[in-house]
Every structure is written in structure tokens, then in C-alpha cells.
């Protein structure tokens, strides 16, 4: 497949280096791959809550007045540069969130290599990218499904498995039904865990039950939702929590945690912040981990699990590339379950 010399590309643009951006569709060049780079035709990209924060100017991206948004995307390798050994033309790939975090612990250098933030992202028809910043996608997934994996999927995997050491029979608590929580549900069920999930929408809870949730709680109807969470575990509490709510949910989540449990601190849907009761964690032998996506090694381990267990990501809506702004609006509305995907092929 020959690449054109130009493409239609979305960019976030603002006057100066602070404040909110506007989303614009522009003409941009397609750059041929250099040494150790590949050229990818992007077939699909997906949104995360982070992307709304970036658009609104509320997420650190450095002193930039323009960038290509979105960290998550999947596509096909259509050209390779000199020295490339990891991929060939025709390979199906997804980009990793942190382009320089390949394995092991995070470092400041790794954390400054996020797509759709410090680096231009995936809301583009073509991207030229280091071969080290890609993984092969599981053969059983479409491009649209694979595009959901880099941020939310790896975050859930890191929280539950890499840092949480999930075991069969564990009980997992998930907050809401967005990207990270939907992956937590799928991974937990596939791993033989019992999953409890919260939402303010009964219809979303019913959908979660159909995907294998063990228990569901409407937190609007039951504000002290830690009480039914503990009841569902016979009073013992949950072993694993993916904490995405932030300051509004943290205290409830901590009251749900079992002795020896693990809480993965991930997001701030209700605002970032909250207090960690150090003495309570010490006294119960529990642990709290700050989770910021994960490494390429995490991504590859997750992909092997997805292939083994035939996990299918939950895609709520496919939006055509020409209407990308609608995807941002839908993300802000919270009227979705799982992941929102933009298809370049529509």
C-alpha cells in the first residue's frame, strides 16, 4: 500500500501555550520512515477521559500551541525504514502510550514520551513512529477493538496484575463502566475473579451483569456503597480496587478494602485528591499503588492474556473520522459504556 504525500489530520490548536484548545482538521504531510521507524496507516483510534482534559487545557502537555490528540490507535504497517527488525509491511499494530517505557520501572524520561500529550498522537490517518513504540495486536481483534487497548486496557492490567497480583477467586471492585472499569470487568471474569461494579445507571449495571459481574451497586441510590460491597463479600471486603473516581469515591473505596487488599489509584472523574489513611493501611497490611498506564512489556503480557482468553473489548460507539468532535462530546456526556472509537475507515 503506497502512502500519499499528504493526509487529513486532527490537531488541537490554541493561542499561546496555556488554556483550552480547539479541535481542527488540517492538511498535513506524511513523513517517510527514517532509521528504525515504521509508517502506519491508522485504521482506528479511541478516546480516554484524559483526552477531554487535554482539550480543555487541564492536562499538562508542555508549552505547546498545537498537537495531534489521542494516545490510542491501531493500524497497519505500510512502510519500514532502515534497520527495522520488529515489524514488516502488513503487520497489524497498536502504539504504546509511553513511547519510551519499554519495561521495568517508570522513569522521568519515560513519562515525558506520552502520545497525545508531550508527543503528537493517533488522531491522524498516518503516523511515522519508532518501531520500539508499537506492539503486535492480538489476531482475534479488529482494528477498532485493538484501538481501545493502549491506555485503558494497559491501566487495568497494570492495576490488577502487575501491581495487584490478582489471584483466582479474588474479589474486584470497579467504579463506573468506562474504559478502565470495563477492561477490569473483562479481565477479572476471564481470570476467575468475582467482580463488583458501581454505576449511577441501572441499565449499565444490567449490562455489566450480562458481561459476568458478580455484584452491582447503584451509588446514587446507595451513597454509602461500601456497605453493600462488604455485604457481597461476607463482610471481608474486596481484594482489589481500580479507583478511578478520585476524591468523591476514595473514602468509600478504602472502606471496602479487605485485609491484605490492594487499591490502584488511577483517576479523578470526581476530581483529583483525597486522603489515604496511612495507619489503616499499615494495620491491615493493605497496599495502594499509583497507576499511570504501564510499559510495553505490560501491553504485551496483556495481549497474550487477551489472546488466550478470547477477551473482546467493549466498544460502545463507532464514530466516523469526519465527525471526530462528536467523540469528544460523547466522552464528556458520560452516556456510554466501555470505549468510544473513531474509525478512519468510515
Q: Is 157 a domain residue? A: no
- pLDDT for the residue numbered 269: 56
Q: Is 305 a domain residue? A: no
Q: Are 172 and 252 part of one and the same domain? A: yes
Q: Are 21 and 138 part of one and the same domain? A: yes
- pLDDT for the residue numbered 268: 62
Q: Is 221 a domain residue? A: yes
Reference 133, options 151, 116, 115, 153; nearest CA is: 115
Q: Are 100 and 226 part of one and the same domain? A: no
Q: Are 270 and 316 part of one and the same domain? A: no
CATH number of residue 255's parent domain = 3.40.50.720
- pLDDT for the residue numbered 270: 54
3 state SS for the chain: CCCCCEEEEEEEECCCCCCCCEEEEEEEECCCCCCCEEEEEEEEEECCHHHHHHHCCCCCCCCCCEECCCCEEEEEEEEECCCCCCCCCCCEEEECCECCCCCCCCCHHHHCCEECCCECCCCECEEEEEHHHEEECCCCCCHHHHCCHHHHHHHHHHHHHHCCCCCCCCEEEEECCCHHHHHHHHHHHHCCCEEEEEECCHHHHHHHHHCCCCEEEECCCCCCCHHHHHHHCCCCCEEEEEECCHHHCHHHHHHHEEEEEEEEECCCCCCCCCCCCHHHHHHHCCEEEECCCCCHHHHHHHHHHHHHHCCCCCEEEEEEHHHHHHHHHHHHHCCCCCEEEEECCC
Q: Are 56 and 102 part of one and the same domain? A: yes
Reference 229, options 249, 207, 206; nearest CA is: 249
Q: Is 307 a domain residue? A: no
Q: Are 243 and 267 part of one and the same domain? A: yes
- pLDDT for the residue numbered 248: 79
- pLDDT for the residue numbered 273: 61
Q: Are 146 and 169 part of one and the same domain? A: no
Tell me how far apart the alpha carbons of residues 243 and 222 are, in angstroms, rounded to a whole number: 18
Reference 13, options 26, 31, 32; nearest CA is: 26
Q: Are 187 and 226 part of one and the same domain? A: yes
Give the long-range contacts of residues 111-115, CB within 8 A, separation 24 or more.
111/292, 114/71, 115/70, 115/71, 115/150
- pLDDT for the residue numbered 285: 84
Q: Are 192 and 274 part of one and the same domain? A: yes
pTM of the model: 0.95
Domain count, the chain: 2
* 174 to 49, 245, 265, 308, 342: CA distances (angstroms): 16, 10, 12, 23, 25
CATH number of residue 141's parent domain = 3.90.180.10
- pLDDT for the residue numbered 91: 98
Q: Are 182 and 111 part of one and the same domain? A: no
Say what the alpha-carbon torsion angle 49, 54, 55, 56 is, to the nearest 10 degrees.
90
- pLDDT for the residue numbered 279: 66
Per the structure, the complete domain to which residue 117 belongs is given by 6-150+312-343
Q: Is 322 a domain residue? A: yes
- pLDDT for the residue numbered 321: 98
pLDDT tens, per residue, the chain with 346 residues: 778 999 999 999 999 889 999 999 999 999 999 999 999 999 999 999 999 999 999 998 989 999 999 999 999 999 999 999 999 999 999 999 999 999 999 999 998 999 999 999 999 999 999 999 999 999 999 999 999 999 999 999 999 999 999 999 999 999 999 999 999 999 999 999 999 999 999 999 999 999 999 999 999 999 999 999 999 999 999 999 999 987 778 889 999 999 999 999 997 655 566 677 776 677 788 899 999 999 999 999 999 999 999 999 999 999 999 999 999 999 999 899 999 999 999 8
Q: Are 20 and 137 part of one and the same domain? A: yes
Q: Are 76 and 106 part of one and the same domain? A: yes
Amino acid at each position: 500500500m503506497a502512502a500519499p504525500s499528504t493526509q487529513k489530520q486532527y490537531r488541537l490548536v490554541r493561542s499561546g501555550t496555556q488554556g483550552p484548545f480547539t479541535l481542527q482538521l488540517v492538511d498535513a504531510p506524511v513523513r517517510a520512515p527514517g532509521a528504525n521507524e515504521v509508517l502506519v496507516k491508522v485504521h482506528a483510534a479511541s478516546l480516554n477521559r484524559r483526552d477531554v482534559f487535554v482539550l480543555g487545557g487541564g492536562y499538562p502537555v508542555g508549552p505547546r500551541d498545537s498537537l495531534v490528540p489521542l494516545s490510542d490507535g491501531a493500524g497497519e504497517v505500510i512502510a519500514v525504514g532502515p534497520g527495522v527488525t520488529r515489524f514488516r509491511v502488513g503487520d497489524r499494530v497498536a502504539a504504546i502510550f509511553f513511547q519510551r517505557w519499554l519495561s521495568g520501572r517508570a522513569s522521568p524520561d519515560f513519562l515525558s514520551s506520552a502520545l497525545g500529550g508531550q508527543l503528537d498522537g493517533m488522531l491522524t490517518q498516518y503516523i511515522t513512529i519508532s518501531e520500539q513504540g508499537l506492539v503486535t495486536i492480538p489476531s482475534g481483534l479488529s482494528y477498532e477493538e485493538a484501538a481501545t487497548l493502549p491506555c485503558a486496557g494497559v491501566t487495568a492490567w497494570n492495576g490488577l496484575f502487575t501491581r495487584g497480583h490478582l489471584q483466582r477467586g479474588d474479589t474486584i471492585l470497579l467504579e463506573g463502566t468506562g474504559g478502565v472499569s470495563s477492561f477490569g470487568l473483562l479481565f477479572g471474569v476471564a481470570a476467575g475473579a468475582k467482580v463488583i461494579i458501581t454505576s449511577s445507571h441501572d441499565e449499565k449495571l444490567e449490562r455489566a451483569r450480562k458481561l459476568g459481574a458478580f455484584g452491582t451497586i447503584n451509588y446514587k441510590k446507595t451513597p454509602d456503597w461500601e456497605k453493600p460491597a462488604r455485604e457481597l463479600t461476607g463482610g471481608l471486603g474486596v481484594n482489589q480496587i481500580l479507583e478511578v473516581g478520585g476524591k468523591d469515591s476514595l473514602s468509600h473505596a478504602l472502606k471496602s478494602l479487605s485485609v491484605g487488599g490492594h487499591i490502584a489509584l488511577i483517576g479523578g472523574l470526581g476530581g483529583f485528591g483525597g486522603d489515604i489513611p496511612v495507619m489503616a493501611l499499615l494495620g491491615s497490611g493493605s497496599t495502594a499503588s499509583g497507576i499511570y498506564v504501564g510499559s510495553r512489556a505490560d501491553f504485551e503480557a496483556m495481549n497474550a492474556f487477551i489472546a488466550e482468553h478470547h477477551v473482546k473489548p467493549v466498544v460502545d460507539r463507532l464514530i466516523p473520522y469526519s465527525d471526530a468532535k462528536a467523540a469528544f462530546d460523547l466522552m464528556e456526556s458520560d452516556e456510554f459504556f466501555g470505549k468510544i472509537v473513531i474509525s478512519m475507515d468510515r
